Amino acid sequence: MTLVANLLVALLALLHIYILVLEMFLWDKPLGLKAFGQTAESAAQTKVLAANQGLYNGFLAAGLLWGLVLGPAGFGTKVFFALCVLVAGLYGGATASRKILFVQALPAALTLGALLLS
């Protein structure tokens, strides 16, 4: 089960690296506009805020990867950062878009469950 948990941690980290790229570099590009349902005008106005969000998603990914690098000693780190992702996903789902519940909160909850069962 530890292998499955670590695989889910790695996938969650990769998801957040992808979100970082979307928010920091592709926010006002066709892929970013489509992913976030933005118009070019609204994306231009919120580009700096999106880049800031992207940076935070990068920190979440870095924390998850750090937990993996620590090996067995990183269990608490992986749980902490998976919880952070879960809270961010729940908040985003409640305040921004319900889609975030499925894109961010659900993968975090599955990862956290696998970690706690490992």
Whole-model pTM? Answer: 0.94
Question: What's the confidence (pLDDT) of residue 59?
Answer: 98
Looking at residue 1, its pLDDT comes to 74
**Which residue type does 6 have?**
N
Helices (H) and strands (E) counted in the chain, each on its own, are: 6, 0
pLDDT at 11 (0 to 100):
98
Residues contacting residue 18 through CB under 8 Å, at least 6 positions apart: none
> How do residues 45-70 score in pLDDT, each as one tens digit?
999 999 999 999 999 999 999 999 99
Give pLDDT < 50 ranges for the chain. Answer: none
Euclidean distance between CA atoms 67 and 73, whole angstroms: 8
Structure-block tokens of residue 103: 């894109």
